[in-house]
Chains A and B, each alone.
Chain A
Amino acid sequence: MSNLQIKKKPEKYDVCIVGSGAGGGMAAYMLANAGVKVLILEAGPMYDPAKNVTQLKWPWESPRRGASSKFRNFGDFDAAYGGWQLDGEPYTHKDNTKFDWFRSRMLGGRTNHWGRISLRFGPKDFKRKNIDGLGDNWPIGYDDVAPYYDRVDQLIGIFGSQENIPNEPDGIFLPPPKPRLHELFIKDAGTALNIPVIPSRLSILTRPLPTNNKRGACFYCNQCNRGCTVYGDFSSSSVLVKPAIETGNVTVVANAMAREVITDNQGLAAGISYLDKNDGVEYEVSARVVVLAASACESARLLLNSKSLNHPNGLANSSNIVGKYLHDSTGASMGGFLPQLVGRKRYNEDGVGGMHVYTPWWLDNKNLDFPRGYHIEYWGGMGMPGYGHGFGMQHSNGKYPDKNGKMKPAGGYGASLKEDHRHFYGAYFGMAGRGEAIAREDNYCEIDPTTVDKFGIPVLRFHYKWSDHEILQAKHMKETFEEMIHKMNGVVTWGKSSAENNWGLEAPGRIIHEVGTTRMGDDRKKSVLNKYNQSHDCKNLFVVDGGAFVSQADKNPTWTILALSMRASEYIMEEMKNRIFRHNYYGQEKIFKNTSGWYFSSYRNS
């Protein structure tokens, strides 16, 4: 590598966005549609679910029948190009703590395979400290974000129902699908136990959007995780980045691994240095504004690795808060078997790619021994077999009468085993809690002082411990699940746990809702970003992924990432209009009027 050199890209951009998931995709969409010249650096390959198709494939079309593998943790058919471990890109842990970090390296990031559960944060979720004294309040409230949630609903599409539950704000919904059979049983059990079971809220188009003729309606194959060929669900790749590119204002460099945010001698962001994995060359590209959307931990890593005279502690880190307050949703689950569903009539009950009903948090924590709530997700029914189907028959067929009403010894083989597989098919179901953890300063990621990845970039080291707040919440989840299952006359077959294993509380990171590492706040000593996702220290630097979250709520983070990124993008445009951001790397500015009537400076090659 004697000829190692850093090439300066001659093109100049208004905004350079690192990452193309929910946050980056939304920023690109908003800015490009306003005429801003945008560069997206994406660490993975280009991806289009209409071209990279696994939808409607049968299990036998994969030699591993869809099983997970080292580099495709969610299996052959799943749209995630990534996993808990990436080849040559390690991360480490401190003090024997545990944090599992899921990274998808591809256009659209993890939005290509996520659960499409699209919940708004409620008024209480922005001000939890006011209620229980723990953590911190957000510098914004529901009313600040609500107009953006409305616009995200309309732009992207979401189904749901008007419920008027105070902390579960209704949105602008498409009609929901009817519940499946086991979901009717769940609803009945919930009603009997005073646990609400309402239509789920997923960003899947049960009808075409009136304002968008490029996306088709859902055709109910249950495979959103594989990416949708008609763009019937929300992925940043197909729903945001693709139309952003079509404006002509967006350049995407795929396989570009960002190394550092470059700053100028005033300490302002000047661009990004990155490794192009295609040609192995190091590049620097300049932009007036840098927007990080690489995921909460990856953006924190990038900031911490961007050290300079002006920012000796890493960029945007005079508070020393970057990487701290990392938190993931809690998770615990339980599954069982519904004896009333054995030998059931066959019909196509695939439905949408996820649950048709769910349970929002329904209790008041004042009366409980843990401070924050959780929601419950459900699954079950006659799904398409994949690797793992039919495992463990010896745990079922000795417990229940067979097709002929006879009890048999567990296990077995032969014609009667085949009968059992038919008999029990579609009778299994499960449920999982997803809860709010308390953001704590001592749960963090930082730069490992001794380890670099294969690109020579210093890696993250995690330090994360659950507290009793989360463990007691998991205990409550398990008690609730068991109660629900018994009410349905079901039998618990897995997921029973005890204090010894923290009531089955998943390791942090497993729910893939990690947020909080560059949190926003009014106090620049205790936060990284202001309430517009803008760095306190570096005014032309923004972070629009989950890093900005002060607290996670008992909701999935994506809808809030989208709303905040949309809001931050409009703020960037306002600031540009007011000519706050000047290019400070290369010379000449040119002013032009774009179609939306706003003035921007633009840089063209002469």
Chain B
Amino acid sequence: MAEKFFDEHEMKTISTLSDIIIPRDEISGSATDAKVPDFIEFIVKDMPGHQIPMRGGLKWLDVQCMKRFKKTFVDCTPAQQIEMIDEIAFPEQAKPEMQQGVAFFNLMRDLTATGFYTSEIGIKDLGYMGNRPNQWDGVPQDVLDQYGVKYDQRTLEISVKYNT
């Protein structure tokens, strides 16, 4: 899909927002390291239902920043950006007049998280250990012990055993 949905300014805003949502830390890289903005560009073309909420939300954000700081979001200082984000990132604390921004940020948080945790960087970060051939022989003993549960005798007798 060579055709672009977001323009350069929108993509820059998406990149900045996604790295605020998922920054680099001691365990893994950031959203842009995981190419989350490219994923968002793709998915809004694939799922057109995201297009208006994303485009309109980005515009809403810029208009809010213009009112407050006389600058678009990406031109704001990091401190100004965070001041703005703090208004819309906490749904239960946000002011009534910020609700459209909350809805947009929820969507942005969702798409960023899903783009990140379905990337190679994100899956490694989560520690998902499957998607490879193996022989399932039950919950590891130390985990059973941790939760104080065990397989009853009948389960042990009837369940599949390997190389016995």
Mark A residues whose CB is within 8 Å of B: 56, 58-60, 63-67, 69, 159, 161-162, 174-181, 184-185, 188, 199, 206-207, 219-223, 340, 344-352, 382-394, 398, 409-415, 417-418, 421-422, 425
Contacts and interface: CB of A to CB of B under 8 A. Distances in A.
Contacts of B136: 177-178, 220, 348-352
A348 B134 contact: yes
Given A174-B160, A389-B114, 12 more contacts: A56-B132, A63-B42, A65-B114, A176-B159, A177-B138, A184-B147, A199-B158, A220-B135, A389-B113, A410-B90, A412-B89, A414-B23
A414 B42 contact: no
B96 interface: no
B24 to A, nearest CB: 9
B63 interface: no
A339 to B, nearest CB: 12
Contact of A410 (B92, B127, B146): B92
Interface string B95-119: 0000000000110011001111111
Contacts of B3: none
B109 A181 contact: no
A347 B141 CA distance: 11
Contact of A390 (B20, B89, B113, B158): B113
Given A64-B43, A184-B149, A387-B114, A415 B120 contact: no
B131 interface: yes
Given A349-B139, A417-B21, A418-B125, A220 B113 contact: no
A384 B119 CA distance: 11
A178 B137 contact: yes
Given A159-B160, A385-B117, A422-B126, A67 B47 contact: yes
A180 B130 CA distance: 14
Contact of A65 (B28, B118, B130, B146): B118
29 contacts: A59-B123, A60-B123, A174-B160, A175-B160, A176-B159, A178-B138, A179-B155, A181-B143, A221-B131, A223-B131, A345-B146, A348-B136, A383-B130, A385-B118, A385-B123, A387-B118, A388-B114, A389-B113, A389-B118, A393-B109, A409-B93, A411-B89, A411-B106, A412-B89, A414-B21, A417-B22, A418-B23, A421-B113, A425-B128
Interface in B14-59: 20-23, 25, 27-28, 39, 42-43, 46-47
A384 B117 contact: no
B91 to A, nearest CB: 5
A383 B130 CA distance: 8
A345 B143 contact: yes
Nearest to B140: A347
A384 B128 contact: yes
A501 B66 CA distance: 44
Nearest to A159: B160
Given A64-B43, A67-B47, A184 B139 contact: yes
Contact of A394 (B106, B126, B132, B140): B106
Contacts of A60: 118-120, 123
B139 A221 contact: no
Interface of B: 20-23, 25, 27-28, 39, 42-43, 46-47, 85, 89-93, 105-106, 109-110, 113-120, 122-123, 125-140, 142-144, 146-147, 149, 151, 155, 158-161
A177 B155 CA distance: 9
Nearest to A346: B127
A468 B132 CA distance: 46
Contact of A175 (B92, B142, B158): B158
A386 B106 contact: no
B92 A393 contact: no
A351 B138 CA distance: 9
Contacts of B43: 64-65, 67, 387
B134 A391 contact: no
A67 to B, nearest CB: 7
Nearest to A230: B133
A59 to B, nearest CB: 4
B1 to A, nearest CB: 8
Contacts of A344: 143
Contacts of A348: 129-130, 132, 134, 136
A207 B160 CA distance: 8
A385 B126 CA distance: 9
Contact of B110 (A65, A384, A391): A391
A395 to B, nearest CB: 9
A350 B158 CA distance: 20
B118 A59 contact: yes
A221 B22 CA distance: 29
B108 to A, nearest CB: 9
A181 B126 contact: no
A425 B142 contact: no
A392 B112 CA distance: 12
B123 A347 contact: no
A209 to B, nearest CB: 14
* Interchain residue pairs A-B with the least CB separation, the first 8: A390-B113, A178-B138, A350-B130, A59-B118, A219-B133, A346-B127, A175-B160, A65-B118
A522 to B, nearest CB: 41
Contacts of A398: 92
Nearest to A161: B158
Contact of B109 (A63, A347, A388, A411): A411
B160 A391 contact: no
Contact of B130 (A207, A382, A393, A412): A382
Contacts of A412: 89-90
B158 A176 contact: yes
A413 B109 contact: yes
B154 to A, nearest CB: 9
B91 A390 contact: no
A175 B158 CA distance: 6
A94 B134 CA distance: 50
Nearest to A162: B158
Contacts of A340: 147
Contacts of B115: 65
A148 to B, nearest CB: 25
A180 B43 CA distance: 33
B131 A58 contact: yes
Contact of B120 (A58, A66, A199): A58
A220 B128 CA distance: 14
Contacts of B146: 345
Given A390-B110, A390-B113, A394-B106, A221 B160 contact: no
B158 A58 contact: no
Contacts of B125: 418, 421-422
